[in-house]
Chain A
Amino acid sequence: MPSDRLIEVENLKKYYPVTAGLLSRHVADVKAVDGVSFYIIEGETLGLVGESGCGKSTLGRILLRLEEPTAGKVLYKGNDIMTWDKRQLKELRKEVQMIFQDPQSSLDPRMTIGDSIGEALLIHGMKNERERLERVEELLKQVGLEPEHAIRYPHEFSGGQKQRVGIARALAVNPKLIVADEPVSALDVSVQAQILNLIKGLQHELGLAYLFIAHDLSVIGHVSDRIVVMYLGQVVESAYRTELFGHPLHPYTEALLSAIPIPDPHQKRERILLQGEVPSPIDPPPGCRFHTRCPRVMKRCRQEEPKLQQLEGEHSVSCHLYS
């Protein structure tokens, strides 16, 4: 196994039980994540893209063990974190941090942002208050805020600034990997560009790796080195960015790509309109999960589940068209 793999997940599954009746009988499972494998190399950005309910956020949370998987392994630097105890997990969370979609609800309204960032430092053992203050100021500068901002409260900041605070807090413990769950989707377009630049700039500066989760393929395409496309809890395609955008193989990826708005009214492109909507993950369709919406569905797709197969390079696809 190459040693530069920072984190690797193998055949990860997360089922949420659905219960019914007085005795909470277990009647079904929501298969949020159903057999997903991928890895992230140090210093790279892996983009995870898919529509709501495809399991991408659940996956992100499992990487920090904020959520316990039903089955599968998560290897951090080759060690299985599923066997780790509380103390070891605390160490893990020093190296793997998270940025959330809604900066508003992830900051305590009654704490100054200096305290919010400092709390992370305190928990991870920086007891000296002066040192902490210095580090907070340094972090604020790093994310493009002013040291004076440390004494202000979250409500005094705009959405973009709050997201900067969220990033500063994640950076506080010098992580190696940041899981960013839809970090820009709540922001205005002009501010979104600022935050994307900040995220990329920090990567160059600090050598961070990102798992960047988003539903917007144009944002994912901008920040990622490699991209994993998910549909209903499974990986349908993964490839390097240029490969995926240049030669998408899976019909779902093709449809996603064709739905990206092009800011140019001259380009009237043939949109691939997918029929219907995403089926429920409680009772996913048999065979290929995408077959109910696939414009290129074959007989085989309704019966047999395709396997994720590796083609040349690092391009993998799970579709009967290619087997």
Chain B
Amino acid sequence: MDNTILEIRNLKTYFYTRHGVVKAVDGVSFSLRRGEILCLVGESGCGKTATALSILRLIDSPPGRIIDGEILYHGEDLLHCSDGKLRHIRGNRVAMIFQDPQSSLNPVFTVGDQISEQIKLHLGSRHKQTRERTLHLMEQVGIPRAAERMKDYPHQFSGGMRQRVMIAAALSCDPEILIADEPTTALDTTIKAQILDIFQDLKQKRNMSILFITHDLGTVASIADRIVVMYGGKIAEAGTALDIFDQPQHPYTQGLINCLPDISTRRDRLTPIPGMIPTLIDPPGGCIFNPRCEKRMSICSQENPPQIIISGEHLVACHLYPPSALPQDKTEVIENAK
């Protein structure tokens, strides 16, 4: 109805380690629509990568396990479909790219081989078509002299070019959804701008849906349609890019925005978020953010805040916004995770 093609419902991915259970993803729900860039933002250990890996069931088991939830791709639950079916979806319908293109490319195959590998596997193309398509993909992501360069090996490419190779490989089967895990973090500033441009292009020209995972809220301001902010394995706040940047409601989101250096105003001191990211083996009770929160109340260390819709698609999980404090008709408690 609203173009949702991927829906994640109450996802829980836990890691069973020697030291205890790490609740890396603990009741996360969001949806991805056709032709939008959805950004999943959070710091190290907030569960953003575990969420992405869970979508394609790529969590290493043991120690990890998806213990609950649904991942609905066009209404079909990927967590319970057959391996064969999943293999067809992976790479073909839903493709993924990672932060470090160096370690995701095989050093002993040419990049042309690696880009066309999926085409052969999924489309079963004959030789000539495969080559043409590979060339076309490389040109599309802006690799110059594609015909020569497809015979080169990954070490002959720069970091930015390798990331383009990864994107070309991910696009090889014309997927509907692209999951990009910190794709620009390892790149230089000017190259980062080029890669962000490619993503913008894919959205506009191919109507592709992109789940963009990053720790840097600043990067995504220019490309995000909607943003999900995660902290400690849970969603702290979600909404459109304008909701998040203009009216951030969760103290953590506010903190993330305030601690970005801003070149237009020279403040002498940044406003950092005090304390540090908690370990998820022994998380703080109640709201996970409460030890670092400046607006902490007594209830925060006792109860986990429910997620509340405050307007339109803007959703926040914080005790500052209890249902009772807002007009009844505008609020809806979606989920009261314990």
Contacts and interface: CB of A to CB of B under 8 A. Distances in A.
Interface of A: 51-52, 158-161, 188-194, 196-197, 200-201, 215-219, 221-222, 241-242, 245, 255-266, 268-269, 271, 273-274, 276-278
Interface string B201-236: 000000000000001111111101000000000000
A200 B268 contact: yes
Contacts of A266: 242, 246
Given A189-B216, A193-B272, A263 B262 contact: yes
Contacts of B160: 277
A154 to B, nearest CB: 15
B272 A274 contact: no
B167 to A, nearest CB: 15
B276 interface: yes
Given A52-B188, A218-B218, A264-B221, A193 B259 contact: yes
B241 A190 contact: no
B191 interface: yes
10 contacts: A158-B276, A188-B43, A188-B44, A200-B269, A258-B193, A259-B190, A264-B221, A266-B242, A273-B190, A276-B144
B263 A265 contact: no
B189 A262 contact: no
Nearest to A265: B241
A264 B264 CA distance: 12
Given A158-B276, A265-B221, A218 B261 contact: yes
Contacts of A241: 266
Nearest to B193: A259
A259 B256 contact: no
Nearest to B192: A259
Contacts, number: 130
A263 B158 CA distance: 28
A167 to B, nearest CB: 15
A200 B285 CA distance: 34
B270 A263 contact: no
B271 interface: yes
Of residues A158, A217, A241, A264, which shows the largest number of chain B Cβ atoms within 10 Å of its Cβ? A264
A261 B269 contact: no
B259 A51 contact: no
B236 to A, nearest CB: 13
A110 B190 CA distance: 40
A189 B191 CA distance: 20
A261 B216 contact: yes
A260 B217 contact: no
Given A188-B277, A261-B219, A274-B194, A217 B268 contact: no
Contacts of A264: 221, 245
Contacts of B268: 200
A190 B256 contact: yes
Contacts of B245: 263-265
Nearest to B157: A277
Contact of B222 (A201, A221, A222, A268): A268
A190 B190 contact: no
B189 A216 contact: yes
A194 B144 CA distance: 41
